[in-house]
Amino acid sequence: MLGAPGSGKGTWSKFLSDALGLPHISSGDLFRRELAKDSPLGHQLRSYLDEGKLVPDDLTIRLLGQEIIEGTGQQGFILDGFPRTMAQADALDALLLDSGQAIDRVVEIQVSEQVIIGRALSRFVCEGCGQPYNTTTMKPQVEGICDRCGGRIVRRSDDNEQTLKQRLKAYREKTAPLTDYYQRQGKLAVFPNDGPPDRKAQQELLELLGQAEPVNEVAD
């Protein structure tokens, strides 16, 4: 699954995982699980995360390899959060070749920059208790005051237009070669989704993937 930050990639990955009956493997979840296991790999991982460094690709690939070769991903999977660069895509291809699997489809969730920024700027959070609010769908009773604890409601510090634009630009620069790469292999399925992730959008995505009906019924 490919998609810019704020494109809803995680939500769509979970939907496809339920609809197609395939495990959802996200690099973030793999990291969290390995850290909890207190394993040698987990200790290596912690040393990078504690210093705020990026996790090196070979470490991520080893975790992914465990999951694909011995873990939940042996019969197929929805991969989310990896690859993000061409080097990672090459490493993933090598891993899959070793495990006798291959990527069937690459879904790119395409949401316009304007919509991503609009969504992010409508999000607020309570300083006191962390309760999320939203100016369109989840307004507090009294403007600026948390319903639960009476705390102050503020915008998340990383949600300002300039930061978001920079993040999206960085994403485009890193990911453009990836989409080209999968496009050339005839694997790329572009899914435009400026609207809500509702039932209609779900059907559109399944049709795009040649799945007229979900394998499993998914609750709204």
The angle at the Cα of 79, spanning 29 to 69, to the nearest 5 degrees, equals: 85
Is 123 part of the annotated catalytic residue set?
Answer: yes
Is 167 part of the annotated catalytic residue set?
Answer: yes
Question: Least distance from C-beta 40 to Zn ion, angstroms?
Answer: 41
**Chain positions contacting Zn ion, by CB under 5 A:** 126, 128-129, 131, 146, 148-149, 151
Q: Which two tokens stand for residue 199?
A: 């039932």
Is 33 part of the annotated catalytic residue set?
Answer: no
- 14, 46, 105, 123: the active-site residue: 123
Question: Least distance from C-beta 220 to Zn ion, angstroms?
Answer: 28
User: What's the farthest any 2 CA atoms get from each other in the chain?
Assistant: 58
Omega within 30 of 0 (cis) for the link into 83: yes
Measured from the CB atom, the residue of 144 and 177 that comes closer to Zn ion is 144
> What number of CA atoms fall less than 13 Å from residue 87's CA on the CB side?
6
* Contact call for residues 132 and 216 (beta carbons, < 8 A): no
> 128-138 in b/e burial notation, b at 16+ Cβ within 10 A?
eeebebeeeee
Measured from the CB atom, the residue of 142 and 190 that comes closer to Zn ion is 142
- 46, 167, 174, 187: the active-site residue: 167
- 14, 33, 46, 84: the active-site residue: 84
Question: Least distance from C-beta 158 to Zn ion, angstroms?
Answer: 20
- 32, 37, 156, 165: the active-site residue: 156
Is 105 part of the annotated catalytic residue set?
Answer: no
Question: Least distance from C-beta 133 to Zn ion, angstroms?
Answer: 9
Question: Using a CB cutoff of 8 Å and minimum separation of 24, what contacts does 58-62 make?
Answer: 58/91, 60/27, 60/30, 60/88, 61/88, 61/91, 61/92, 61/95
CA 156, CA 47: separation in Å to the nearest integer?
27
Measured from the CB atom, the residue of 12 and 124 that comes closer to Zn ion is 124
Is 152 part of the annotated catalytic residue set?
Answer: no
Measured from the CB atom, the residue of 70 and 127 that comes closer to Zn ion is 127
The residues that are catalytic are 9, 84, 123, 156, 167
